Amino acid sequence: MSLTHYILDFAYTFNTCINCFPTPSLHINNRSYKIQRLLGEGGFSYVYLVQASNGEYFALKKIRCPFGAESLQHAMKEIDSYKIFNDEHIINIIDSNVVQERDGSKTVYILLPYFRRGNLQDTINANLINHAHYDEREALQLFLEIARGVRVMHKHRVDEDSGLNTRRAGNNTLEFERESQPLMDDQGVTPVTSMSNLLPSGGAVVPYSHRDIKPANIMLSQTGVPVLMDLGSCTRARIEVASRQQALELQDYAAEYCTISYRAPELFDVKTNSVLDEGVDIWSLGCTYFALLYCSSPFELQSSESGASLSLAIINGQYRFPEAPKYTERTKDVIRACLTVDPKHRPDIDRVILMVQGALQQF
């Protein structure tokens, strides 16, 4: 059943004036939810805290699609992305629906778990206000769990069963693409052609990249497990850039969906005849770990201190480690490796995990 009930009588003012009315409610696929408050917003997206009839709380993401098929397709792609992974480190989708608005546009609703502990940016903000910082061992343990979640994306395996075309994209790099098929089939399995001659048994590896890893997109579960969220920018990791037009399109996409202070330098100036891959997430991980330790992304800190252009600082890899708080060189080496400007020399996620585990051995 569609979402047929309008949110009381204020469908168009609901986003900015939710507190002006009695508690509104809506229905998603025959289930009723009461909207409690706005949790956050950005662009055409809004996230609300909602409560089910049994008292359980959820996060409801509302995505307005005012630009027709293109914006709707992006929202539907986000829904598909939530269904790909099954791991405690990556947020799972609970329900979704698409509604036709009075003006002819569509709105997508995505029901997600609610994390009472908030996200890592909340923790960073609290540390900044309280002049506190993470203990190094605690930060390494947390970062290790974040990296394990990223590894699930980068090493994603699919069943060897039709639907996905593969082709070479440079030296031993595979790009995967589907012809006019959704990311998921009715059974929740991503189709793929047989590739047993290329990869070990257990299915084909189809790497995915999150493309917008940052503290605000990492929630904390009740047990303290970091959970990657906001998969709107998630896509197959390896993209062969075959033309200048495609390069410019990828740059525009990154500018819109990948947060600038955590964005890899190769996304600022995408080169023709290059291959974008999982390395963009490794860079973002380095920025995220730096922010955990020093309460700011490395390039925002550099820009604020020197007055330099943020984008130029990122492209040139210009940053420095603050004198305080004090952390060991092994911890800093993890960040240095992740923030290697040339993606060809950046470590993969397995190497990052090994480096973090090695740094933990000193405690």
Q: Is the pLDDT of residue 133 over 50?
A: yes
- Pick the more confident residue, 41 or 108: 108
> Of the segments 98-112, 152-166, 168-182, which one has the largest average pLDDT value?
98-112
Q: Could you write out the DSSP letters of every residue in 52-77?
A: ETTS-EEEEEEEEETTTHHHHHHHHH
Q: How confident is the model at residue 44 (pLDDT cuts 50, 70, 90)?
A: confident
The predicted pLDDT at position 22 comes to 56
CA distance 56 to 40: 20
pLDDT at residue 13 in the model:
41
- Give all domains of the chain, ordered by start, each with its CATH number: 20-113 (3.30.200.20), 118-157+204-361 (1.10.510.10)
**Positive or negative CA dihedral for 87, 90, 94, 100?**
negative
Helix%, strand%, coil% for the chain, nearest 5: 35, 20, 40
**pLDDT tier for residue 326 given thresholds of 50, 70 and 90:** very high
What is the model's pLDDT at position 5? 43
Given 95, 159, 161, 212, which residue is catalytic?
212
Query: Was 61 annotated as part of a binding site?
Result: yes
pLDDT confidence of 321, banded at 50, 70, 90? very high
pLDDT at 202: 56
191 vs 87 pLDDT, higher one:
87
pLDDT value of position 124? 97
Q: Give pLDDT, residue 1.
A: 43
Q: pTM for the full model?
A: 0.81
| Residue 212 is a catalytic residue | yes
Q: Which of 7-11, 82-86, 92-96, 132-136 has the lowest mean pLDDT?
A: 7-11
Alpha-carbon distances, residue 108 vs 66, 102, 180, 232 (angstroms):
11, 14, 21, 12
Of the candidates 192, 114, 117, the one whose C-alpha atom is nearest the C-alpha of residue 160 is 192
DSSP result, 147-178: HHHHHHHHT-EE-S-SSEEEEE-STT-EEEEE
